[in-house]
C-alpha cells in the first residue's frame, strides 16, 4: 500500500500531540482565533409551530419537519405549508413523528411511531427496507462518493442499491454509535466518521459492496472527550473537513491536518451543511463560511431558548428561537433550482434557475459560472434564459472542462448588501455511444424501479415504450436523486440512464 504524504504528516502531528499533551496541553496544535463579523440575520418564521426535534432542510428552499403536534409538515421557502401526503400505495400510516434525517438532496428519512418512511416530492412513501429496521435512528450522513450511511441503535448501515447493508466488525454489529459525520479519512478517501463508545472510527467504502472500518484518532488531551461532530463537504479545489466539539474545545481537521479554533466561549452545539458550519455557544450564534474562510456572529438575536432543527447547503438554518420556529440566514440568499450541491452533471445542457426568498426584492440578480457573470431577468431568473413563450432554456456547459465547477447566483440589494448562493458541481460530459433499453436499462429497471413502478405506488414504467415516453421525466427524477424513492442509486447507473436518453432512447 502506498502512503499518501497527507497520511504521513497527520500521523506525525498526532504522535507529537500525544507526546506534548502531557507537558503543555493545548499548545501543541496550530490555533485559530477568528474575529467574527456581526451580521443582522434574515429571519423567515414558519407558519406552523415545529417540534424541537431534528428536521430536514432542502437546499432548494423549505424542508420537512415534525410539527409541535407530532405531525409531518413540509415547509416552503417562505415558511408556508406545502403539500405532503401519504402515498396511496402505503399500507401503513406514519403516526406521531419522532425525528427527520437527510437522505439525499431532496429526500428525507422520517422516523415515526410506526417505523421509517421517506418524504419525497410531496409524498410520504413506505420504503421496502423499512421492515428490516425499526425506530432508533441516531443520524444519517452522505459521504463524498454518494453513499448514504445510517447510524441506528442496532448498528451502522449503508443504504445501497435500495437495500440496507449492515456493517459488521468481527461478525458483530456496530452498536453504541452516538455521533456521525461525513468527512474524508486521513488518506483523503471519502468516509464517514463516527463516535462509538467514546472512540473515533472512520468507515470508508472500498468498492460498491465492500467497506473498511478503521480506528481513527484526534489530537485529544488527557481527559478530553469528543461530544459531537460535524462534516463540511468539498468544493472546487478544496476537500471536505471534520469538526469535533470536545468537552474542552473545538477542533478542525482539513487536508492540512488538525487545528484548534478558539471562539472565545466554548461551543455547545454544531451543525454543518455543505460548506457552512453553524456553532452555538452560550450566548452567541456563529456561522463559518468555508468557501471564503470567514466567521460571522448573529446580532440582535435572543438565543437564550435555542435549538437547531436543520441546516441546508445555502447557509440557512431552521432553529427554535424562544418558542418560535424560524429559518435564519446571514442574508436573504437566493436558492438554485435544477442544480444541487455536489451534483454530477453529464448532459451538456441543464435548466437552472434562481428563487428569491420573501422580503425586500433585490435590485439585481445575476449568475456566475466559474466567476464569469451571466445576466438574468426575473421573475424566473433562468441561467439559460427563456423562450418567447416563457419556457426556460437549458444553459450549455459544453464549453467547460471535465471536473468541478461552480454556479453562483448573486442577489444585490438597494442598501448595497449582497447575498450569494454558490453551488459546486461535477461536470462529466458524456460520450454518447448509443445504449439500448433491453441490454442497459432493463436491468436497472428490474433492480431499482420495478418494485414500485409496475402497478403501484408509482406510475407504470415496466416496458420500453413507457420508459421512452417518460424519458425526460425519468432522466430528471434520477439526476435530481428524487428517484429511486427507496435510497440512492449508484452514480454510474444514473449516468447510464442519462446516456441512454441522450443517445436516442433506443429499444
Ligand atoms: C420505493 C418505491 C419507488 C421506487 C423504488 C422508485 N420509485 Fe419512482 N416514484 C415512486 C412514487 C410513489 C412516485 C409518485 C407517483 C408517481 O408520480 O408515479 C414516483 C414517481 C416517479 C416519477 C414521476 C414523478 C417525478 O418525481 O418526477 C418518475 C419519473 C419515477 N418515479 C421514476 C423512477 C425510476 C426511474 C425508478 C428506478 C430507477 C424509480 N422511480 C424507483 C416510488 C418509487
Which of 451, 459, 466, 483, when mutated, tests ligand 1's pocket best, judged by the most ligand atoms within 8 Å of its CB? Answer: 483
Residue 331 or 432, more confident: 331
CA angle 322, 328, 329 (to 5 degrees): 155
Q: How many CA atoms lie within 13 A of 219 on its CB side?
A: 30
From CA 300, how far away is CA 70, in angstroms rounded?
Answer: 31
Q: Is 87 in the pocket of ligand 1 (CB under 6 A)?
A: yes
Distance 456 CA to ligand 1 centre (A): 10
Q: Are 218 and 241 a contacting pair, CB within 8 Å?
A: no
Average pLDDT score over residue span 465-479: 94
Nearest to 336 by CA among 119, 13, 60: 60
Which of 87, 458, 476, when mutated, tests ligand 1's pocket best, judged by the most ligand atoms within 8 Å of its CB? Answer: 458
Between the CA of residue 480 and those of 106, 403, 476, what are the distances in Å? 8, 19, 6
The three grid cell numbers given for residue 147, joined into one nine-digit string:
453513499
Q: pLDDT tens, 164-188?
A: 889 988 889 999 999 999 999 988 9
pLDDT, residue 96, reads: 96
Distance 154 CA to ligand 1 centre (A): 29
Q: Is 127 in the pocket of ligand 1 (CB under 6 A)?
A: yes
Q: Is 487 in the pocket of ligand 1 (CB under 6 A)?
A: no
pLDDT, residue 14, reads: 24
Distance 83 CA to ligand 1 centre (A): 17
Cβ count within 10 A of residue 44: 23
Closest approach atom of ligand 1 to CA 493: 38
Query: Above pLDDT 90, what percent of the chain?
Result: 68
Cβ count within 10 A of residue 35: 9
Q: Is 73 in the pocket of ligand 1 (CB under 6 A)?
A: no
Distance of CA 252 to the CA centre of its chain: 19
Average pLDDT score over residue span 417-423: 95
Q: Is 275 in the pocket of ligand 1 (CB under 6 A)?
A: no
The three grid cell numbers given for residue 287, joined into one nine-digit string:
456561522
Q: Is 123 in the pocket of ligand 1 (CB under 6 A)?
A: yes
Least confident of 93-102, 197-206, 408-417: 197-206
Q: Is 220 in the pocket of ligand 1 (CB under 6 A)?
A: no
Distance of CA 297 to the CA centre of its chain: 23
Q: pLDDT tens, 213-255?
A: 988 989 999 999 999 999 999 988 888 999 999 999 999 999 8
Between the CA of residue 207 and those of 160, 191, 295, what are the distances in Å? 11, 12, 37
Distance 478 CA to ligand 1 centre (A): 9
Closest approach atom of ligand 1 to CA 474: 29
Distance 160 CA to ligand 1 centre (A): 17
Average pLDDT in the chain:
89
Between the CA of residue 10 and those of 155, 230, 239, 242, what are the distances in Å? 29, 19, 15, 14
Q: pLDDT tens, 323-349?
A: 899 999 999 999 999 999 999 888 878
Q: Is 483 in the pocket of ligand 1 (CB under 6 A)?
A: yes
From CA 107, how far away is CA 265, in angstroms rounded?
Answer: 35
Average pLDDT score over residue span 105-130: 91
Q: Is 459 in the pocket of ligand 1 (CB under 6 A)?
A: yes
Q: Is 474 in the pocket of ligand 1 (CB under 6 A)?
A: yes
pLDDT, residue 227, reads: 95
pLDDT, residue 15, reads: 26
Between the CA of residue 68 and those of 114, 317, 334, 423, what are the distances in Å? 18, 18, 28, 33
From CA 184, how far away is CA 233, in angstroms rounded?
Answer: 9
pLDDT greater than 50 at residue 153: yes
Q: How confident is the model at residue 27 (pLDDT cuts 50, 70, 90)?
A: low
pLDDT, residue 349, reads: 84
Residues in the chain: 507
Nearest to 309 by CA among 7, 51, 3: 51
Residue nearest to atom 26 of ligand 1 (CA): 477
Nearest to 253 by CA among 222, 232, 236: 232
Q: Is 125 in the pocket of ligand 1 (CB under 6 A)?
A: yes
Q: Is 478 in the pocket of ligand 1 (CB under 6 A)?
A: yes
pLDDT greater than 70 at residue 85: yes
Q: pLDDT tens, 90-116?
A: 778 899 999 999 999 999 999 999 999
Closest approach atom of ligand 1 to CA 458: 18
Amino acid at each position: 500500500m502506498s502512503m499518501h504524504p497527507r497520511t504521513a504528516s497527520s500521523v506525525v502531528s498526532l504522535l507529537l500531540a500525544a507526546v506534548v499533551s502531557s507537558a503543555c496541553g493545548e499548545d501543541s496544535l496550530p490555533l485559530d482565533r477568528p474575529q467574527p463579523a456581526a451580521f443582522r440575520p434574515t429571519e423567515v418564521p414558519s407558519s406552523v409551530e415545529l417540534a424541537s426535534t431534528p428536521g430536514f432542510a432542502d437546499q432548494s428552499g423549505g424542508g420537512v419537519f415534525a410539527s409541535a403536534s407530532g405531525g409531518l409538515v413540509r415547509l416552503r421557502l417562505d415558511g408556508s405549508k406545502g403539500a405532503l401526503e401519504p402515498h396511496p400505495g402505503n399500507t401503513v400510516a406514519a403516526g406521531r413523528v419522532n425525528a427527520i434525517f437527510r437522505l439525499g438532496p431532496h429526500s428525507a428519512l422520517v422516523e415515526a411511531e410506526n417505523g421509517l418512511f421517506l418524504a419525497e416530492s410531496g409524498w410520504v412513501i413506505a420504503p421496502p427496507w423499512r421492515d428490516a429496521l425499526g425506530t432508533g435512528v441516531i443520524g444519517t450522513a452522505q459521504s463524498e462518493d454518494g453513499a448514504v450511511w445510517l447510524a441506528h441503535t442496532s448498528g451502522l448501515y449503508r443504504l445501497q442499491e435500495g437495500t440496507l447493508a449492515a456493517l459488521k466488525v468481527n461478525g458483530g454489529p456496530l452498536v453504541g454509535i452516538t455521533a456521525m459525520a461525513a468527512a474524508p479519512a486521513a488518506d483523503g478517501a471519502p468516509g464517514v466518521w463516527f463516535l462509538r463508545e467514546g472512540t473515533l472510527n472512520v468507515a470508508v467504502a472500498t468498492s460498491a459492496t465492500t467497506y473498511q472500518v478503521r480506528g481513527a484518532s484526534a489530537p485529544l488531551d488527557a481527559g478530553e472527550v469528543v461530544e459531537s461532530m460535524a462534516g463540511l463537504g468539498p468544493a472546487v479545489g478544496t476537500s471536505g473537513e471534520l469538526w469535533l466539539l470536545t468537552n474542552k474545545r473545538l477542533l478542525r481537521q482539513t487536508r492540512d491536518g488538525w487545528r484548534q479554533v478558539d471562539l472565545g466561549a466554548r461551543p455547545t452545539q454544531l451543525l454543518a451543511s455543505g460548506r457552512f458550519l453553524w456553532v452555538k455557544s452560550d450566548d452567541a450564534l456563529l456561522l463559518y463560511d468555508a468557501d471564503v474562510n470567514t466567521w460571522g456572529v448573529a446580532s440582535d438575536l435572543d438565543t437564550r431558548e435555542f435549538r437547531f432543527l436543520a441546516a441546508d447547503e445555502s447557509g440557512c438554518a431552521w432553529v427554535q428561537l424562544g418558542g418560535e420556529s424560524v429559518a435564519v440566514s446571514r442574508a436573504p440568499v437566493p436558492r438554485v433550482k435544477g442544480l444541487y450541491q455536489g451534483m454530477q452533471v453529464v448532459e451538456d445542457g441543464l435548466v437552472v434557475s434562481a428563487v428569491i426568498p420573501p422580503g425586500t426584492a433585490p435590485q439585481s440578480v445575476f449568475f456566475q459560472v466559474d466567476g464569469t457573470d451571466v445576466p438574468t431577468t426575473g421573475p424566473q431568473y433562468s441561467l439559460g434564459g427563456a423562450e418567447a413563450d416563457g419556457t426556460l432554456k437549458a444553459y450549455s456547459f459544453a464549453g467547460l472542462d471535465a471536473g468541478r465547477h461552480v454556479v453562483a447566483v448573486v442577489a444585490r440589494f438597494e442598501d448595497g448588501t449582497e447575498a450569494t448562493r454558490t453551488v459546486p458541481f461535477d461536470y462529466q460530459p458524456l460520450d454518447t455511444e448509443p445504449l439500448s433499453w433491453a441490454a442497459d436499462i432493463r436491468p436497472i429497471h428490474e433492480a431499482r424501479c420495478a418494485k414500485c413502478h409496475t402497478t403501484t405506488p408509482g406510475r407504470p414504467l415496466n416496458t420500453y415504450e413507457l420508459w421512452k415516453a417518460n424519458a425526460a421525466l425519468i432522466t430528471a427524477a434520477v439526476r435530481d436523486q428524487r428517484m429511486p424513492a427507496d435510497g440512492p442509486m449508484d452514480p454510474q447507473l444514473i449516468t447510464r440512464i442519462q446516456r441512454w436518453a441522450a443517445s436516442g432512447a433506443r429499444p
